[in-house]
Each structure stands twice: as C-alpha cells, then as structure tokens.
Chains A and B, each alone.
Chain A
Amino acid sequence: GENVEQHPSTLSVQEGDSAVIKCTYSDSASNYFPWYKQELGKRPQLIIDIRSNVGEKKDQRIAVTLNKTAKHFSLHITETQPEDSAVYFCAASTSYNQGGKLIFGQGTELSVKP
C-alpha cells in the first residue's frame, strides 16, 4: 500500500525566511497530493493541493512542486510569518479504482520566530 515519508519533523526559521518541507510517496499510481495545516488544538485544514498532471502550483506565499519520476513533492513557504507556525502534513491519494485512500506523512512542526 501507499506510504508517505515527510521531512523534517521539526523546522525553525526566522520571520521572513523561507521554509521547505519535503515528502516522498511509494505508490506510483497516486495522483493527488494535498497539504494540510493544523494549528494547535484545531483540526487539519487544506492549504494547497496538486494533481499528478501538474508540476508546480502557487498560491500567494505558498507553492508546491511535484516530481513524479522521483515520487516526491515539496511545500515552499516564502516570507514566513509567526502565524505560519503550525504542524504541516503532506498526503497522497490513490485513484478511486485503488480505493481512493488518503495517506498522510508524519507531520512537520514549523516554528517561525519573530
């Protein structure tokens, strides 16, 4: 089955710096790759996603890149702000024919220091 590995587990940056979180997946049939942000004590919420037919997607300060050949994808946050501090999860989803399971990585705790 699908396995998603996420690194690093913790990341500390200064306000204004960039942050990069990387994930690898095992199932080459996976075709949807979302990223979720979870603030302390809250539920995870989608911040950006990418599909397998796209190599890069950007939304303001957040961007995601996908390398299907290497089976890895990354989250890039530029000009970080203290409110970006949270736990970030990557995930991979198989197609409907393969059950459509959404499998998450282990999470990255991002701390942005003012």
Chain B
Amino acid sequence: NAGVTQTPKFQVLKTGQSMTLQCAQDMNHEYMSWYRQDPGMGLRLIHYSVGAGITDQGEVPNGYNVSRSTTEDFPLRLLSAAPSQTSVYFCASRRQSGAEAFFGQGTRLTVV
C-alpha cells in the first residue's frame, strides 16, 4: 500500500494564479482532511470529508475549495493564490472518527 500520496511536493505560484493540490489514499478510508502548517500555528484544518460526496469547512476554509467524488481522492483547489497562503499543506486520511490519521508527505507552497 502507498498510504496517502500528495502531489506536488513543492510549488511556487504567482499571486492570483490557481492550482490544485492532489491527495489520494489507497486504504479505503472514509475520512479525509486538508491541513496547513505554519510556524507557531500548529496544524489548522482547512476542509474535511466524511465520505464521497460529503465535504465541510474546517477552521480556515477561505480561499480554498474541495470536492470528494471518490473515496480515494480529495483534491484541494486554490482559487486565486495569495501570499498569505504560503504554507506547508498536509492531506490526512482516517478509517473513522476515532482512528489514527495517516498523513501525506506534505506540499510546500510558496506564493510570490
């Protein structure tokens, strides 16, 4: 099993550009989430999903969109990149609400 796979690992965007961060898991987990990690701020929840076709907002959803058309994939879309979105992004999946979360390797995004 590959676990949770994120692409790309690194990305530089110009302000105003859009892009999609990809996340795929092969563990048949129902729960998937996107977090951003900034120094001193911990891991902040952007959006999450409890199953295909179901998504909801987390702590910092503004500027990001998600969709969950399949159990395996949970892409994160940046609509119009801003320097404040410079961060490390992690995708995570869990079997259920009270289970271990498995993280992808992270995407380091810089918006200039």
Residue numbers of A with Cβ under 8 A of B are 1, 6, 9, 31-32, 34, 36, 43-46, 49, 51, 89, 91, 93-96, 99-107
Contacts and interface: CB of A to CB of B under 8 A. Distances in A.
B97 interface: yes
Contact of B101 (A31, A46, A105): A46
Contacts of B43: 44, 89, 91, 104, 107
**Nearest 3 A-B pairs (CB), nearest first?**
A100-B97, A106-B42, A32-B98
B27 interface: no
Nearest to B50: A100
B90 A43 contact: yes
Contacts of A101: 33, 45, 48, 58
A68 B63 CA distance: 36
A96 B96 contact: yes
A102 B33 contact: yes
B40 A9 contact: yes
Contacts of B33: 101-102
